[in-house]
Amino acid sequence: MVQRCQWIQDKPDFYVAYHDTVWGKPCYNDRELFQWLTLEVFHSGLSWQLVLSKLDDFQQAFDGLDPEKISQYTACDVERLMNNPKIIRHRRKIEATIQNAQSFLAIKEEWGSFSRYIWHFTQNKPVIRKDGEAMQTRSALSDQVTQDMKQKGFKFIGSTTIHSYLQGIGVINDHDETCLFK
């Protein structure tokens, strides 16, 4: 039997696959970084399992989660998305996604890539939870990143959302010490 993080026990196969192949693994691909940020925005107030189960639907509804395309969305696109029963239909989150795409691209322009920007907070090294430390839902790092991202125009984010994002993209490696995927 494969030893995994305690929290993944009894989860559906797609969630286990996410744990094994994505969560906590350093991600440097800007398109993927935008995808996971967008899903974290929609995760706010909802279960990650629900949001993750709709990944394909989000990709289809939001033009492959391409920040270039999303940054150009209009009120008509917002209405189109609000009428799509396959995604989470929350107007403020949809509007935040458009604003976040614009802010994402501005950072990409300034830093050369969003990856360079997000990883600079840890000097390009993952933060690995030490033995005996409890998993957190926010941290000084997520507070700092959130504050900076808000100053750069990002919407519908907070320290808990950003902490979860940093875990997902591997900036924070929060796998249990006994987990094979640490």
The helix/strand/coil state of 74 is coil
d(CA 67, CA 105): 7
Whether 40 is a known active-site residue: answer: yes
d(CA 46, CA 149): 22
Which of 18, 73, 119, 165 does the annotation list as catalytic?
18
Query: For 172, how many CA atoms within 13 A lie in the half-sphere containing its CB?
Result: 21
- For residue 76, say whether it is annotated as part of any ligand binding site: no
Which of 15, 28, 48, 111 does the annotation list as catalytic?
48
- For residue 175, say whether it is annotated as part of any ligand binding site: yes
Whether 177 is a known active-site residue: answer: no
d(CA 164, CA 162): 5
- CB of 97 within 8 A of CB of 59? no
Token pair 């935040």 is found at: 96
- For residue 19, say whether it is annotated as part of any ligand binding site: yes
Token pair 């998993």 is found at: 135
Whether 48 is a known active-site residue: answer: yes
Which of 23, 36, 40, 119 does the annotation list as catalytic?
40
Give me 178's structure tokens: 């006994």
Known binding positions for Zn(2+): 5, 19, 175, 179
Catalytic residues: 18, 40, 48
- Annotated binding residues, as ranges? 5, 19, 175, 179
